[in-house]
Amino acid sequence: MPAAPAPASSTGKPAGRIRQKNEKAIIAAAEVEFARHGYKGTSMNSIAQAVGLPKANLHYYFSSKQGLYAAVLDNILCQWENALDSMTAADDPAEALSRYIRAKVEFSRSQPLASRIFAMEVIGGGQQLAAHYNQNYREWFESRTAVFQAWIDAGKMAPVEPAHLLFLLWSSTQHYADFASQICLYTGKSSLKKADFESAADNLERIILGGLGLTPPARS
């Protein structure tokens, strides 16, 4: 359903809850447009039409295409990063990595366009990601790889380079969104179904955890 213009509060700004709802609808519509046409091929007008708002109203929420694109990227990264945020050195690595692999594969299944936008941005040089990948992000990245190193130091898993393990986790799980058409060509499928993603998660879990000397957790 098209997003409606948010009513103004006494400060002239939309009410918080309604603003969040409309921003979410705009970001969802923008995600589709950016995935289809890329950053350069997408216009604010096409996004406004997709979400059912006058272009002037769209600019009320996002003043520029670059700002809206940055919001789309930030939304993608926040969801990916949240799946890692709760991981600690006290966790069982097999359990924690299994949960993360399955969460990321499910993200590829449920939100493939988000993954493809990110892939296109990186392939294009990642200029719009520069604001996100600042010192705070590097510190966050180091805190996540430090968890892997703590597991290694405690003898809980095989010694590997933590950064490369994280790169592998990202790339292998996102492959099933970014290269779904290639997988379909090789397998003769018209599209990937939920069972295909579940099978992918099972195999990634066995391959990655096995390479780390870990036994995948029992599943009911």
- Pick from 136, 5, 145: nearest CA to 77: 136
What kind of fold does domain 16-63 have according to CATH? Arc Repressor Mutant, subunit A (1.10.10)
6-20 pLDDT, tens digit each = 434 434 454 588 888
Give the mean model confidence (pLDDT) for residues 80-105.
94
DSSP character at residue 212: T
- Mean pLDDT, rounded, of the chain: 88
Q: Distance from CA of residue 111 to its chain's centroid?
A: 8
Please report the pLDDT score of residue 125 as a whole number: 86
Residue 15's pLDDT is 57
pLDDT of residue 127: 81
pTM: 0.82
For residue range 160-170, list pLDDT tens digits in order: 999 999 999 99
The superfamily in CATH containing domain 72-211 is: Tetracycline Repressor, domain 2 (1.10.357.10)
**Residue ranges, CATH 1.10.357.10, the chain:** 72-211
CATH 1.10.10.60 residue ranges of the chain are 16-63
Distance linking the first and last C-alpha atoms of the chain: 39
Percent of the chain residues past pLDDT 90, beyond the cut = 62
